Amino acid sequence: MDMPQRKHQQGLVYKESMEMSHILILGGDGYLGWPTAMHFSNLGYDVTVVDNYFRRHACTELDVGMLYPVPSLIERAKLWHSLTGKQIKVVIGDLTDAHVMRSLFDSRIQYSWAQNKRFTGLPETVVHYAEQPSAPYSLINYKYANITLTNNLQVTNNLIFAVRDFSPDTHIIKLGTMGEYGTPNIDIEEGWIEIEHNGRKDNFLFPRQASSLYHTTKIMDTDLMWFGVRMWNLRVTDLMQGPVYGIDTEATAINEKLRTIFNYDEILGTILNRFIVQAVVDYPLTVYGKGGQTRGYLNINDTLQCVHMSELKPARQGELRIFNQITETFSANELAEKVQKVGRSMGYSVQIDHLKNPRKEAEEHYYNPKYQGLVDIGVKPHYLTDGVIEGMFRVVGCFKKNIRRDVIFRGINW
């Protein structure tokens, strides 16, 4: 593999092996974090994951259930080690605390679990997933709005300052979201736009205006990252991701206990995952309003591919590189119809319900995002075929007895 060899600016710390690249995954216990950790570990990278169990605690507090029980992050890392011989070092800590963040770079880190507790060294790459990721969560009430705002911005701010202070050459891969753009009446470019006005021109971030507080915090993240890039020449890739679907990745074939956290409720479950669970327990699919809300979607395996390709071809110093990380677009109606079609072919009845929209959003709108950049650096998209949906139905069907109908919908509105 063609691993980028970049010099570090701090002589003090060193890597355990000059052959392996070190990747630090913030939010390594989450839906995307854990599969990403296994993916890179499998490829021979040194991997460190950090998490404060935010999602698990939220699941408990909000009583939303999970499709199946998931071992703790330490238990999963130990299992991974026993099955593959590879080490994923684990730090349980809250990254809103600047001291925890900085310990990951200044060698004061305390591993909660590691086979070899010596400091791995500065990371070549940080993948930043350590955010509260749910729009409805952010709008339950003012308390959850504040948690979302402070969690997401403090972690991001601590990250850019730690990288600036200790490891300015580290490549930050940040999960953004297509939701930052909203649904403008013009084509959505990949992050940037040239504006001509009164005969003069300049380049700007593509306009962003989100329709949830969570998505608004992601706009703010972009503001912070762009500030760090301009002021301190940080190297940042921002992956503007659409809703992700899927369960299994290559690594989960090794052992089912390695499967990622899977939520199916309105708060923490993403739309396609949730629709399949609803179909399995004969809960009518909950389309909001007219169902013309169109978004870009991608398979969880493509998230891994996108992050990996971004890591292999990092942003330059002083570059905020932005990719629209989606593989295809669907309206809510189209997704519901796909699930209905496949579900019915498998013997599920699958009804579709059009609820009064609990959100304030356009139910019919223009939507034309560009998404060429990731393909250009080598990503081979997986599309949402009937086969993919059928595969998800089969896994979800195995856990039918765990599904709680009472937590699927509660109608958080804003």
Q: Which residues bind its own copies (CB under 8 A)?
A: 98, 102, 141-143, 145-146, 149-150, 153-154, 157-158, 161-162, 165, 184-187, 189, 193, 195-198, 200-202, 204-205, 207-211, 213, 216, 219-220, 223-224, 226-227, 230-232, 360, 366, 414
Residue whose CB is less far from its own copies, 168 or 184: 184
Question: Least separation, in Å, of the C-beta of 185 and its own copies?
Answer: 4
- Tell me which DSSP letter residue 324 carries: E
H helix intervals, 174-295:
213-232, 271-280
- Tell me which DSSP letter residue 9 carries: S
Around Cβ 356, how many Cβ atoms within 10 Å? 8
Q: Is 364 helix (H, G, I), strand (E, B) or coil?
A: coil
Residue whose CB is less far from its own copies, 19 or 202: 202
Q: Say which residue the tokens 């993948």 belong to.
A: 127
Active-site residue identified among 218, 264, 303, 371: 218
Question: Least separation, in Å, of the C-beta of 259 and its own copies?
Answer: 35
Active-site residue identified among 45, 214, 245, 371: 214
Q: Which pairing describes strands 235-241 and 328-331: parallel, antiparallel, or unpaired?
A: unpaired
Distance CA 252, CA 394 (A): 15
* Residue of 184, 351, 221, 375 whose CA lies nearest to 280: 351
* Type of residue at 187: D
Question: Least separation, in Å, of the C-beta of 120 and its own copies?
Answer: 22
* Nearest-5° Cα angle at 212, 207 to 218: 55
Is 111 among the catalytic positions?
no
DSSP-assigned letters across all residues of 223-246: HHHHHHHHHH--EEEEEEE--EE-
Distance CA 377, CA 398 (A): 37
Residue whose CB is less far from its own copies, 54 or 105: 105
Is 86 among the catalytic positions?
no
The radius of gyration of the chain's CA atoms, rounded to the nearest angstrom, is: 21
Question: Least separation, in Å, of the C-beta of 53 and its own copies?
Answer: 22
Q: Which pairing describes strands 319-325 and 235-241: parallel, antiparallel, or unpaired?
A: parallel
Residue whose CB is less far from its own copies, 98 or 377: 98
**For residue 41, what are its two tokens?**
């570990």
Distance CA 180, CA 198 (A): 27
Question: Least separation, in Å, of the C-beta of 214 and its own copies?
Answer: 11
Distance of CA 378 to the CA centre of its chain: 20
Q: Say which residue the tokens 């499967």 belong to.
A: 259
Question: Least separation, in Å, of the C-beta of 197 and its own copies?
Answer: 4
What is the maximum span of the chain, computed from C-alpha positions, in angstroms? 65
**C-alpha distance from residue 154 to each of 125, 130, 159, 318 (Å):** 19, 10, 8, 22
Is 117 among the catalytic positions?
no
Active-site residue identified among 36, 156, 177, 217: 177
DSSP-assigned letters across all residues of 324-367: EE-SEEEEHHHHHHHHHHHHHHTT----EEEEPPSS---SS---
Question: Least separation, in Å, of the C-beta of 366 and its own copies?
Answer: 7
Residue whose CB is less far from its own copies, 319 or 390: 319
What count of Cα atoms within 13 Å lies in the side-chain half-sphere of residue 288? 18
Question: Least separation, in Å, of the C-beta of 164 and its own copies?
Answer: 9
Distance CA 143, CA 139 (A): 9
- The residues annotated as belonging to the active site are 177, 214, 218
